[in-house]
Structure 1
Amino acid sequence: MSDKNASSSVVTSLPGTNSAQAARGFVRSVNDWVMECALEDTDISEILNGMVRRLVAAGIPIDRVMVAFKTLHPLYEGVSYVWSKDSNSVERSTHMGVRDDDPDWADSPLKWMADSDVSFMRRHLIGPGAVLDFPILESFRRNRGTDYYALMTPFVTDRDSTLGSNRIFMTYMTRRPSGFSDEDLATLSGIQRRFAVSCKMRINHEETKTILETYLGSDAGGRVRNGQIKLGDSTKTRAVIWFSDMRNSSSVATHVGDDAFLGEMNDFFSATAGAVLKHGGQVLRYIGDATLAIFPIDENENNVETACVSALYAAAEAQLNIDQLNATREESGKPPFDYGLGMHVGDVIYGNVGVPERVDFTVVGQAANEAARIEQLTKQLGKRVLVSQTVASFISCPTVEMGAYELQGTGVSVKLFAPDFSEACHRLELMRAG
């Protein structure tokens, strides 16, 4: 690139220097630093904070910066980072959705830029040249803002998918009476694309992490991301094993029909598997309408009690959730949910099974099979929850001894107990009320 092109595309001078060469050197130094952050997989909030410090040190009068983009996540659709001079910190926020009927988005300059395919926008907020054609600009002026500059950098999310394009939005506001100078704007434009590249790399990292954790669970997703992807890669893990299953799925499916049954299953899993996650467990698999989960025990055997108590409160939480759901379902004429839950302690193999081209990350082993067989006995014994003697010995709630039973297909006889969750449920209800 020639000096002439570099000058016109980057910046002509910096405040106080009147030197195009110094300006280009500053932009290059910031861009180099931003790319180092990309290579080191630095969090966006850290990149933004560091970049703003460098811009302010160079004399650019920044009072507020926002970075925003869409993301792939089951709980929200957008993320924004806002740095403000008042707090001298970066605040991260998530956004449920970007809808045209949401006035904050529908009347925003960012939507107009996206719809018009305009890569930048500048608005004076005071003086004879002021243009306040979007509601948020009025709020910026009330906050003593004098000038506003917005940039949009489109990028391809995944060329092999149908997700299409994404955009990095970046907005700057200043309170300096004279607003941004042309040199200020040129500098901000000169670092935008490198900053967007760094953001894209971090976005891809976060989306990969989200996908793995959503489909595999937090621990399994982390293991796969760290390279445990080959058939046979495994780790022996000691854990409290949770196996729960919907008892009356056929009657529920018959009542609501096939099309609505998926929503019914999600309600059921939200009540049961959701309780596992809330109390520190890891959901490994959904097997039809059943859930396989674990509460890991680390090398310190004293943590068996901690894992068992966590599993106890998860089971109590699930019972409360199902009972509340059933009260609502009764009002709407739907059949109640019911379930069986078996819990056991043992060593399991935590890793990859399948064929080399298609593996599944799960728990296998004798203890996992025994937990599933314990659950099968809940219907026979008329109890929602049955636990093995090891679990019963580490939980504080009352239990009823049900006797020893041979677990089908295992050749193992296990003494089973039915816990009474009344006290645990009462504590959870108090916590919810408080």
Structure 2
Amino acid sequence: MNNNGQDSAVVTSLPGTNNAQAARGFVRSVNDWLMECALDDTDISELLSGMVSRLVASGIPIDRVMVAFKTLHPLYEGVSYIWNKESGQVERSTHMGIGDDDDDRRDWDESPMKWMLDNDVSFMRRHLIGPSSVIDFPVLESFRRNRGTDYYALMTPFVTDRDSTLDSNRIFMTYLTRRPSGFSDEDLAILSGIQRRFAVSCKMRINHEETSTILETYLGSDAGGRVRNGQIKLGDSTKTRAVIWFSDMRNSTSVATHVGDDAFLGEMNDFFAATAGAVLKHGGQVLRYIGDATLAIFPIGENENNLEEACLAALYAAAEAQINIDTLNATREEVGKPPFDYGLGMHVGDVIYGNVGVSERVDFTVVGQAANEAARIEQLTKQLGKRVLVSSTVASFISCPTQEMGAYELPGTGVSVKLFAPDFAEACHRIELMRAG
């Protein structure tokens, strides 16, 4: 076997067969299956589980497998998948960036993966027991305490987007066995022989997931899904019925003046985390950020029976947003920052998902009379001295007391709507109980 163990042709036998042809045939069959998975866009958990089951069935003594790679996501930087023989299941975990946390940084700095990356090493093997054992990383000691006998790691670099300025990604693959004699040379040759095909299959799925993440991050889950499914031509549109949420920061000028332009973006993110974050938590879809305003919907669809459920979800999102803002303001007061305030208008009606712009630069947005009316309702919150105003349809389906504010003509629409101010005290109490419990 070559020292790098990358060529499947050097496999001389499967465990117990002593048959080079059988070994090559096995590697070829697994690689063919991996290519089918790449074409089918198979989920990585399913891909790993299927591959390990084939390896174990062939007699390779695997007790643990880990797959890890970086990913493009706003909430975390890495993903790992771990298969354990005891459970027979694959567990997926997400990992934050190294940041400034001393424990996270120490774990990474002392890991085999970091050493392989720094030294551009594509594979590494460590005996964990016996006279040839080498325990030069803390994680190997933990594996040895857990009866591990042999450890094998592979690193495969790949590029997700050659036009991007991001560094090349890498798929790390580690295998652990508890067999007293460890992995045989034939075992390692087989594992090396399928590595690149496995990496190709993972890359296909990583590209798919990163594309979905980008679309959902910038457009929202529903709109992102529509674009991914081909709704990208200028003029493409779909109508849906929904509870429409339009919220806007009231005192953005004073906040910006207090903190300065450089810090204002962080202030806006704090505000959106409190308000738009509440929408997402309760099942709504954030469609657009318009300056410091948020346009969101709670879909009803074609079944009018969903109207009450959508109104209640919007109610609890509004109550959650109120709690979040009040909590945030208590902290801001302690450090001398001006408090956040906002207006929120909620309405029910039809909106149209559509592509607008020019053929070379399309924006996927939501338009419609009902969306305009929700924005006008929000504009009246300051005039009427209320944070939240809802139309009569929303008021009739939310389970909290409301104060009737009267009928008002919505500016620029020619439409008169009866408005109500909800009292969120009971909803806020229930949310706080759920948080405490």
Q: Structure 2-normalised TM-score?
A: 0.97
Corresponding residue number in structure 1 for 2:288: 285
Query: How far apart, CA to CA, are the structure 2 residues paired with 1:240 and 1:267?
Result: 24
Query: How far apart, CA to CA, are the structure 2 residues paired with 1:356 and 1:293?
Result: 26
Corresponding residue number in structure 1 for 2:171: 168
**Quick check: 95-104 or 272-281, which moved more?**
95-104
1:279–1:311: 8 Å Cα contact kept in structure 2? yes
Q: Does 1:407 align with 2:410?
A: yes
Q: Tell me, what secondary structure is at the counterpart of 2:31?
A: helix
Q: Does 1:345 align with 2:348?
A: yes
Q: Displacement, 1:65?
A: 0.5
2:244–2:295: 8 Å Cα contact kept in structure 1? yes
Query: How far apart, CA to CA, are the structure 2 residues paired with 1:354 and 1:46?
Result: 40
1:68–1:169: 8 Å Cα contact kept in structure 2? yes
2:8–2:24: 8 Å Cα contact kept in structure 1? no
2:246–2:296: 8 Å Cα contact kept in structure 1? yes
Q: Tell me, what secondary structure is at the counterpart of 1:129?
A: coil
1:387–1:418: 8 Å Cα contact kept in structure 2? yes
Corresponding residue number in structure 1 for 2:304: 301
Q: Which amino acid aligns with 1:29?
A: S
Query: How far apart, CA to CA, are the structure 2 residues paired with 1:379 and 1:387?
Result: 14
Corresponding residue number in structure 1 for 2:399: 396
Q: Which amino acid aligns with 1:54?
A: R
2:9–2:24: 8 Å Cα contact kept in structure 1? no
Q: Tell me, what secondary structure is at the counterpart of 1:306?
A: helix
Q: Tell me, what secondary structure is at the counterpart of 2:169?
A: strand
Q: 1:7 to 1:227 in 2, by over 3 A?
A: closer
Corresponding residue number in structure 1 for 2:239: 236
Q: Which amino acid aligns with 1:352?
A: N
2:8–2:192: 8 Å Cα contact kept in structure 1? no
Q: 1:281 to 1:13 in 2, by over 3 A?
A: same
Which of 246, 251, 261 is the equivalent residue of 2:249?
246
Query: How far apart, CA to CA, are the structure 1 residues paired with 2:158 and 2:412?
Result: 55
Q: Displacement, 1:10?
A: 4.5
Q: Which amino acid aligns with 1:16?
A: G
Q: 1:255 to 1:163 in 2, by over 3 A?
A: same
Q: 1:193 to 1:10 in 2, by over 3 A?
A: farther
1:7–1:24: 8 Å Cα contact kept in structure 2? no
2:155–2:172: 8 Å Cα contact kept in structure 1? yes
Q: Which amino acid aligns with 1:237?
A: T
Corresponding residue number in structure 1 for 2:143: 140
Query: How far apart, CA to CA, are the structure 2 residues paired with 1:240 and 1:352?
Result: 21
Q: Which amino acid aligns with 1:431?
A: M
1:234–1:352: 8 Å Cα contact kept in structure 2? yes
Corresponding residue number in structure 1 for 2:78: 78
Gaps of 5+ in 2: none
Corresponding residue number in structure 2 for 1:416: 419
Q: How does 1:243-282 map to 2 (within 5 A)?
A: 243-282=246-285
Query: How far apart, CA to CA, are the structure 2 residues paired with 1:46 and 1:77?
Result: 22
1:65–1:170: 8 Å Cα contact kept in structure 2? yes
Q: Displacement, 1:157?
A: 2.4
Q: Displacement, 1:150?
A: 0.4
Q: Which amino acid aligns with 1:125?
A: L
2:112–2:137: 8 Å Cα contact kept in structure 1? yes
Query: How far apart, CA to CA, are the structure 2 residues paired with 1:416 and 1:161?
Result: 50
Gaps of 5+ in 1: none
Q: Which amino acid aligns with 1:203?
A: I
Q: Displacement, 1:98?
A: 3.7
Q: Displacement, 1:122?
A: 0.5
Spell out, residue by residue over 1:348-393, the C-alpha distance to the aligned partner (whole angstroms, 9 max, x if none). Answer: 1112111111111121010000000000000000000000011001
Query: How far apart, CA to CA, are the structure 1 residues paired with 2:81 and 2:289?
Result: 35
Q: Structure 1-normalised TM-score?
A: 0.97
Query: How far apart, CA to CA, are the structure 2 residues paired with 1:361 and 1:419?
Result: 32
Query: How far apart, CA to CA, are the structure 1 residues paired with 2:288 and 2:141?
Result: 50
Query: How far apart, CA to CA, are the structure 2 residues paired with 1:212 and 1:7?
Result: 38
Corresponding residue number in structure 2 for 1:20: 20
Spell out, residue by residue over 1:130-155, the C-alpha distance to the aligned partner (whole angstroms, 9 max, x if none). Answer: 00011111011101011000000001
1:158–1:164: 8 Å Cα contact kept in structure 2? no
Q: Which amino acid aligns with 1:69?
A: F
Corresponding residue number in structure 1 for 2:337: 334
Q: Which amino acid aligns with 1:363?
A: V
Q: 1:120 to 1:397 in 2, by over 3 A?
A: same
Q: Does 1:379 align with 2:382?
A: yes
Q: Tell me, what secondary structure is at the counterpart of 1:400?
A: strand
Query: How far apart, CA to CA, are the structure 2 residues paired with 1:67 and 1:348?
Result: 43
**Quick check: 153-162 or 93-102, which moved more?**
93-102
Query: How far apart, CA to CA, are the structure 1 residues paired with 2:9 and 2:304?
Result: 63
Corresponding residue number in structure 2 for 1:61: 61
**Quick check: 99-108 or 235-244, which moved more?**
99-108
Corresponding residue number in structure 2 for 1:104: 107
Q: Which amino acid aligns with 2:54?
A: R
Query: How far apart, CA to CA, are the structure 1 residues paired with 2:426 and 2:37?
Result: 51
Q: Does 1:49 align with 2:49?
A: yes
Q: Tell me, what secondary structure is at the counterpart of 1:313?
A: helix
Q: 1:264 to 1:223 in 2, by over 3 A?
A: same
Q: How does 1:166-245 map to 2 (within 5 A)?
A: 166-245=169-248
Aligned length: 430
The RMSD of aligned alpha carbons is 1.3
Q: 1:7 to 1:195 in 2, by over 3 A?
A: closer
Query: How far apart, CA to CA, are the structure 2 residues paired with 1:134 and 1:254?
Result: 51
2:245–2:297: 8 Å Cα contact kept in structure 1? yes
